[in-house]
Structure formats: structure tokens, C-alpha cells
Amino acid sequence: MRKTTALLAAVAAMAGPAARADTVDVSSTTMLTLGQQPLDGQPNQAPSLGTVVPVFELLNIAAHNVTNPVAQNLEIVVSGWGSYNFDTIRWDNGVSTRLTGDLVNAYIGGRLFNNTVQLRLGREFIMGGVARGLQLDGGEAIAMLPFGLRASGYVGVPVTQRFTGVVPTSWNPQAGSLAYGGRLSYYLALPGGFSGRGLDLGASVNWVNDGSNMPVRQEVGADARLMLLRNVIATGFFAYSVYDERISEGSVVLDWRAIPRLDVNADFRFTAPDLLLSRQSILSVFSASSRKFIGGGATYELAHGIGVGANYHLVLEPGSEGGTYYGNELDAKVDWHHESTRAGAEFFLLDAFENGYYGGRLFGRQDIGRFFGTADVMTYFYRHNINGQDYSVIGILSAGVELAKGFSAVVSGSAGANPLFQEQYSLLVKLAYNANYRVREVK
Amino acid sequence: MNRSLAILFAAALAATGCRAQKAAKPGETAAHGAKAAVPTSDFTHQIHLDQGIGCTDCHEGIDKATTLTKRHLPPSAKCAECHTDNRPAPSTENIPPPRLTFSHAQHVSQKQIAGKCDFCHKKLPEMGEPYPKLSMETCTQCHKHQQDFAYGRCRPCHLDLKGYKPEVAYAHEGDWLRNHGAQARPSAESCAACHDQTYCGKCHGPTTTAARPSVIWPEDVQASFIHRGDYVSRHTVEADANPSSCQKCHGPQFCQACHAQLNRAQNGQQEGVGGFQFIRPPSHNASGWANNPAAGNNFHGEQARANINSCAACHDQGAQAVCVLCHQHGGIGGNPHPPTFLSNHSRGDINKNNMCKICHPPGTF
């Protein structure tokens, strides 16, 4: 956390008199939580339940359009947190110390050469193409070329949690110690009165190696986005594992805004889950299975503040004796709001080969002036017992108040029972602050 | 607030000499859920237009304005030219600050626009109505910004994009949360025009996040947060149906960090014992799971073929993985590779990957 503090202070100092930001967004959340965790599990013994009481400070600072002589829209973004455990040390933060923390983002970015090159350096996400939102300590450059062409490249180290750990213990889904890749795309703008009408085609590559320069992931991909009509958009994605010479992922999504209040979509998705494992995993050579999802959904905004929506997908997964299991995935939702009241209900169903569930959720919120209260209840029923129990239920009550000058306070408590705890409870108290500072006047 | 926050506030305020202009982002508050109030007009345009009053009669100088800094609203004296009841001039208090780089002078000097304010201002605000927003199509009916839109090149026309939402392409409508990934993949720069990555990191940074969004914002009941409620209870069911959805965000070590702290149960433990037997799936205790290869009824291989990612949640320890004991070259477990494996890999690949050498040491294959 000391490193975090020092880094944040340094970033703030960088945004000093010589670099005045047009806007600075700040959000801070200080929260204390209290709950239970199973701890110190040993073979053939039930773990003990410990009470964990961590206090968190979550901080986001984003300065945009920082005035400077070099880059356009220079931005400095830092998002991080720190926590201190008052009682038993939590295990889900990856370290065994009372004081811990991490950075989610910490980057500086801007556009150069008359907006033709975009640079970002630091802890960031690589969002486009086959990178799949790779969290990286490194840099990315995007060049806007003539004739609708764009080229991007990135290099860095896949993020490891909590400033600790080495490659073998990284939680990063792509693991490895060096990642690099890029994307080349072409945008064909079509005339027609609205922005975004056109065809976007991209080809991307993502290479990840481990410390011995051995392959962790080697993928190439193609993506497309087509918008001819203002109410229809089609997207596609295709990824191929070069190392294993197999298709790792594919999807086609069609979204149609049938009428202003009705949105309909259909999609087909294919995944080969084993290809998302590291190529250095001993388990990566045992399977070549796949999953397919076919279905779609719709949302409709009725009158009187009522909205409804539902999605259904047929799930094709490996079944018994080498066959295919035809599973089902369904969710439906109704939402209602009127003035300062909001309520909703949800239904879920998942039918998979090994197990399945159906469940529901009811929620509501009432605002009274600066005060508000919420209630949230969820329950699930499982087809087969999980740990000897076939249901779970949890209820959450929250109350809060909007304080002056961007501050707000919330108290929340939950209680329930699930297969992992016969009973569970938690308590949260937090003070939050959100502000948008406009620094430079419009001239 | 802790020390770091105090340092930052002090540094930022000292450096900029600024003050908070408003408490929260539009549509977002600290206690998520409440919406910012929409400013409304306290003036009726239509009655004045019906009287034949021209735009520049009240908005003096607007046709020569090169920025939006000055409001060009009429003072009370202008109203008093017709009204004798000392009515106040329209208030500027509720009018949102201008966030565009725009020159009226440059535009009204164009032949097709001259004298026709309604060429752009097709709807004027009336008493009690929200201020109408000029859509992008107002601009793009003349200016071709398709390429800039695709590149996320919104400046210098837009000073910032707070509060704006895409109207056509990337409109956040329907089941946007479900579909946003497919649309963002080809054009992440367009997303970045409005969202810095702290926004993405709330859901897409599980390696470094402090907690799930539904834990941090339990009061935000209308949000479609991922893994809401006691998700850990049902994660095995969802991991079975769609292992990729887990693996895209969580590496196997993420699973092991939790499982290792609980009861990594051993053979013989029965379901429900101690309340935490779930770490060892019931299938592992069934007869024929892995204990009788000679009879040909050990079915763990079939299960592994179907969902190897579930195996990885506990058994992904490289050379120490339990699989190696039986499946190394010459072991009693035999060849574990799926039929397609050999067609995609040659013997030479063994030397390209240290992992292969664990089971295939030099000279054995």
C-alpha cells in the first residue's frame, strides 16, 4: 500500500501547475466489511470458520485532457485499493499479511501527431481482437493510418496480483511473463447520415510466453462489425490457436432494434475451453472438447416504466459415452420504476450435463429525499445436491443517505444459507465520494 | 478517508486551484442508483416566435460568436422592451455548460444556413421541458465524420463526452451488457472515447480487484452485476456448462488459491462430512473413477475430456500434477491425448515445449 500511496501521490504531482487537467474524476470508497470465511483446511478435516473484518479504501482518479505541449487528450488514470484486516487475515486477497492492496489501472495515455497515434503506458487492459481484455503491465500504440486502416501493437507482462507472486502463481488467465501482439483493421465508412454506418474488419494476434520463452498462448483472430441499417448490427469473431492448430473461439451476433422499444438479438458462440489453458499446463494436452451456444433474446420497454427481457440458449456440451448433451440456459427479467421507486424480478435456469439449477431474484429500491433503502433476495434450487444441500438463499438489505458535496453513506447486511455454509452473514458499512472537477474553462 | 486520499486531494487541489463543480457524474452517484436531475427550460420560445421575433433579436451577437463561452441570452432590459411587468430574464443557472468547440459565426456565414437557425436548432426548449440535445446527425448532415467516429477522434469538437450516450451505433440499449463485448472487440477506441479503463476494470480486472462489484455496491440492485449473491455456491454448475467463461477472466491459480485454503479432501471422504467435502467432487469417490484401469471402467478420462478446465482448478501443478504419475510415457494410464492431438502435433513439438518433456523425457519417445 505504501508503494500505491507513493505512486498515486507522484501521479497527482505530475498533474501540477504545468499540466492542468480539463477534468478530473475522483471516486473514493471507504468500506468496512464483516463476515465469515472457512480457514486452514486440512485433509479429512473440516476447516474452521473465522471472522474476517477488513477495511478497504478504493480510489479512482482519472485526469482527462491534461494540457501539455506534446500530446492531445493526455490522460492520467489510477485505480487502486488498499485493505487492512482487523481480525483474521482473509485468504482471498492472495497474500498472508494484514495490510495489502493492488492497482487495477495505472497508466498515462494520449494522442500524438495530430491525433494519428494513440499511446498508453502502464497497467492497462488490451481490449481489441484476440487479446480478450488482457491486463498488462506494458504499453500499447494505435496508429490511425490513411484509407481507413488502423494498426496497433502492445507488449508487456501479464499482470500478477498484489505485487507479489511469480509466474507460476499468477491469477492472470493468460499467465506467462511476456505478452505481445497487435491488430490490423480496416474501416469502410458508408454514407448514410448516421455515424457508425460501415464495415469494420480486423485481424489480430496474441502471443504469450513464459519465463523460458516457451509458448503459453499463440492465437490469431479475425473480427468484424457490420452496420448497414441504423437498427441492425452484426458482429463476428473468430480465433485460432496456432500452437494447437484448432479453432479456439467463434461467435456471430445479430442485434436488431425492431421498434424503438423492442430489441431482438440472436447469436451463435463456439468455444474450445482447453485452449484457454496455458500451453505450459500439463492438462492442456488431455482434451479437445468444445461448447456451442445457440439462441437469442429480446428486451421490450412497456409503458408505465415496465421493462421485460428474456434470453434462451441451447447449450451443446460433451455428454456421456462421447455423446453430446443438449443443455438449456434461460434467464428472464421484469423491471419496474416509477418516480423514486424501483422493483424487479428475475428468473434463471441452467441445465448442464453434471448439474443444473433454477432460481429467482426479487429486488426493490425506494428513495425518500436524500435517503434510500434497498432489498434483494435470491434463491437457487440445484438438480443434484452440492455438498449435501440442494438449495441456497440469500437476502440483502441496504440503507443509505446522500450526504453533502458528493459524499454518501451506506449500511448493508446480508444473511442466508447455502451449500457451503449452513448459515452465513455479512455486514458492510461504507462512505463513498464521487466528484467531477472541471479545471480548465472553455475558451 | 485515509492518508493517501488526503495527499491526493491536497495535491490535486493545490495544483489546480479548482473546486468540485458537481457532486457526481450524470447518472451515477456514490450510492449507485439515483439519477441526476435533468435541467429544464424556464422560457417559452414558441410564443415569441409566433410574434415574429427573430432569434438574434434576443440572442444578440450569437451570429458573430466564435465560441460557446458566452451565453448570448437577453438581459431583463431586453424583455422590458415588450413586457412591462418587470419579469426576470431567462436564467442561465440550469443550462448545462457548453462542451463543444463551435463557432456560430463560421456556420451562419454558410449560404445554406444563413438566416436559418432551424437548420440545426430544429426543436427549441419550451417552459418546463428538458433542453433538447442536438444529435450528432445535425452535424453529420454536412460534416463527414465517419472516420473520426470509428477512430474515437471526438476532440477537438467535443471537449469531453460526459453524459453523452451513443444514439445509433453502439447505442446502449436492449441487453447491452450481454452484447457490449461483441461490439467493443472491433472498435475499442470508440468505447475509450467515453470510458477510461477504470470503468472497464470494475468487472474486467479480477486479477487485481478488491472484491466483486455486487459486494462493493450491494445497494445497486438494478445493475446486472456478474457473480451476484452467493455465487460461489453455483460456480461449479456454471463452470461445467461454460468453462471458457471462467477461464477468460480467471487463471487456474485463481481457483487453487481458494481450494487450497479449504479442505483438499482425500480419498474416502463422504459427501457432507464436515460440510466442506465439495472440494473433492463426488464423482472422484465413485467406484471406477480411476482405480481399475485393467477393467476398463475408470471413467475419469471421459470426464477430463469433457471439462479439463475443472481438473485444472485443482490439479494444474506442472510436473507435480497427479496426472503425471500414471500418464507419463510408459505409465499405467496409457496415452491420454485426444485423437486429434497427434494429427496436430509432431514429435518435434516436444522440444518446443518444456511441459511435454515432463512425460516425454529425451529418449523415451
Model ipTM?
0.88
Contact B137 A194 (CB under 8 A): yes
Q: Give the residue-averaged pLDDT of B5-24.
A: 40
Size of interface A-B (CB pairs under 8 A): 578
3 state DSSP class of A39: strand
Whether residue B158 sits in one domain with residue B129: yes
User: Which of A27, A95, A88, A91 lies closest to A58, judged by CA?
Assistant: A27
The residue of chain A with its CA nearest to that of B212 is A92
Interface membership of A150 toward B (CB under 8 Å): yes
A162 grid coordinates? 498484489
Contact B155 A115 (CB under 8 A): yes
Question: Of B276, B301, B316, which one is at a domain's C-terminal end?
Answer: B316
Rounded distance, CA B182 to CA B175, Å?
12
Q: H/E element holding B256?
A: helix B252-259
Contact B359 A282 (CB under 8 A): yes
pLDDT, tens only, A221-232? 999 999 999 899
The residue of chain B with its CA nearest to that of A345 is B222
Whether residue B324 sits in one domain with residue B302: no
Contact B315 A132 (CB under 8 A): no
Whether residue B111 sits in one domain with residue B51: yes
Interface membership of A115 toward B (CB under 8 Å): yes
3 state DSSP class of A81: strand
The pTM of this model reads 0.83
3 state DSSP class of A391: strand
Interface membership of A14 toward B (CB under 8 Å): no
Whether residue B327 sits in one domain with residue B305: no
pLDDT at B27 over 80: no
Residue environment code for B250-275, b if the CB has 16+ CB neighbours within 10 A, otherwise e: bbbbbbbbbbebbbebeeebeeebbb
Q: B-chain residues within 8 Å CB-CB of A395?
A: none
Interface membership of A42 toward B (CB under 8 Å): yes
Instruction: Say if B271 falls within a structural domain.
Output: yes
Q: Give the residue-averaged pLDDT of A235-251.
A: 95
Q: What's the mean pLDDT when you consider all of chain A?
A: 87
pLDDT at B26 over 80: no
pLDDT at A37 over 90: no
Q: What's the one-letter identity of residue A174?
A: Q
Instruction: Tell which wins on pLDDT, B73 or A96.
Output: B73
Residue B292's domain comprises 241-316
Q: How would residue B13 be classed by pLDDT, with cut points 50, 70 and 90?
A: very low
Q: Given this model, what pLDDT does residue A4 score?
A: 46
CB-CB: which of B160, B244, B306 is closest to A23? Answer: B160
pLDDT at B22 over 80: no
Question: Of B169, B201, B233, which one is at a domain's C-terminal end?
Answer: B169
Instruction: Tell which wins on pLDDT, B29 or B350.
Output: B350
Whether residue B251 sits in one domain with residue B162: no
Whether residue B65 sits in one domain with residue B97: yes
Q: How would residue B291 be classed by pLDDT, with cut points 50, 70 and 90?
A: low
Whether residue B364 sits in one domain with residue B289: no
Contact B24 A435 (CB under 8 A): yes
pLDDT at B266 over 80: no
Q: Given this model, what pLDDT does residue A13 score?
A: 42
Whether residue B276 sits in one domain with residue B163: no
The one-character DSSP state at B175 is S
Q: Which of residues 223-252 of B touch A (CB under 8 A)?
A: 228-230, 232-234, 236-238, 240-244, 247-252
Interface membership of B200 toward A (CB under 8 Å): yes
CA atoms within 13 A of residue A266's CA, in its CB half-sphere = 3
CB-CB: which of A21, A38, A39 is closest to B16? Answer: A21
Burial of B241 by CB count in 10 Å (0-12 exposed, 13-18 middle, 19+ buried)? buried
pLDDT at A289 over 90: no
Instruction: Say if B12 falls within a structural domain.
Output: no
Contact B323 A286 (CB under 8 A): yes
Instruction: Say if B212 falls within a structural domain.
Output: no
Q: How far is CA B149 from CA A144, A187, A195, A237, in A?
A: 12, 11, 6, 22
Instruction: Tell which wins on pLDDT, B9 or A432.
Output: A432
The residue of chain B with its CA nearest to that of A125 is B197
Instruction: Say if B278 falls within a structural domain.
Output: yes
To test the contact with chain A by mutation, choose from B4, B247, B285, B353 the residue with the greatest count of A C-beta atoms within 10 A, namely B4
Q: Which of residues 147-176 of B touch A (CB under 8 A)?
A: 147, 149-151, 153, 155, 159-160, 162, 166-171, 173-175
Q: Give the residue-averaged pLDDT of B82-104.
A: 79
Q: How would residue B73 be classed by pLDDT, with cut points 50, 70 and 90?
A: confident
Interface membership of A412 toward B (CB under 8 Å): yes
Instruction: Tell which wins on pLDDT, B332 or B14.
Output: B332
Lowest mean per-residue pLDDT among A211-220, A321-330, A350-359, B264-273:
B264-273
- What lies within 8 Å, CB to CB, of B283 at 6+ separation is B289, B300, B303
Q: How would residue A440 be classed by pLDDT, with cut points 50, 70 and 90?
A: low
Q: What's the mean pLDDT when you consider all of chain B?
A: 77
Contact B308 A274 (CB under 8 A): yes
The residue of chain A with its CA nearest to that of B356 is A282
pLDDT at B12 over 60: no
Q: Given this model, what pLDDT does residue B21 score?
A: 39
Interface membership of B344 toward A (CB under 8 Å): yes
Contact B147 A212 (CB under 8 A): no
CB-CB: which of A194, A255, A282 is closest to B174? Answer: A255
Instruction: Say if B249 falls within a structural domain.
Output: yes
Q: B-chain residues within 8 Å CB-CB of A378?
A: 228-230
Whether residue B299 sits in one domain with residue B263: yes
CB-CB: which of B98, B253, B269 is closest to A170? Answer: B253
Number of structural domains in chain B: 3
Contact B140 A103 (CB under 8 A): no
pLDDT at B55 over 50: yes
Whether residue B149 sits in one domain with residue B48: yes
Instruction: Tell which wins on pLDDT, A187 or A9.
Output: A187
To test the contact with chain A by mutation, choose from B234, B283, B345, B360 the residue with the greatest count of A C-beta atoms within 10 A, namely B234
Q: B-chain residues within 8 Å CB-CB of A228?
A: none
Instruction: Say if B342 falls within a structural domain.
Output: yes
Instruction: Say if B153 falls within a structural domain.
Output: yes
Rounded distance, CA A251 to CA B214, Å?
28
pLDDT, tens only, B123-175? 888 888 887 777 777 888 888 787 788 777 887 788 777 777 888 888 888 88
pLDDT at A7 over 80: no
CB A420 within 8 A of CB B227: no
The one-character DSSP state at A369 is T
The residue of chain A with its CA nearest to that of B200 is A125
Q: Give the residue-averaged pLDDT of B339-353.
A: 81
Question: Of B152, B169, B186, which one is at a domain's C-terminal end?
Answer: B169
Whether residue B307 sits in one domain with residue B326: no
Contact A293 B248 (CB under 8 A): no
Whether residue B311 sits in one domain with residue B323: no
Instruction: Say if B68 falls within a structural domain.
Output: yes
The residue of chain A with its CA nearest to that of B152 is A115
Lowest mean per-residue pLDDT among A58-67, A426-435, B27-36, B218-227:
B27-36
pLDDT at A337 over 80: yes
Q: Given this model, what pLDDT does residue B292 score?
A: 63
Interface membership of B284 toward A (CB under 8 Å): no
Contact A115 B153 (CB under 8 A): yes
Q: Given this model, what pLDDT does residue B341 score?
A: 83
The residue ranges of DSSP E strands in A11-70, in sequence order, are 23-39, 48-52, 54-66
Q: How would residue A287 be classed by pLDDT, with cut points 50, 70 and 90?
A: confident
Chain B nearest-CA distance from A425, in A, is 11
Q: Given this model, what pLDDT does residue B81 score?
A: 86
CB-CB: which of B249, B258, B352 is closest to A173? Answer: B249
Q: How would residue A40 be classed by pLDDT, with cut points 50, 70 and 90?
A: low
Lowest mean per-residue pLDDT among A93-102, A256-265, B308-317:
A93-102
pLDDT at A18 over 60: no
Contact B4 A127 (CB under 8 A): no
CB-CB: which of B174, B189, B316 is closest to A281? Answer: B316
Rounded distance, CA A217 to CA B247, Å?
13
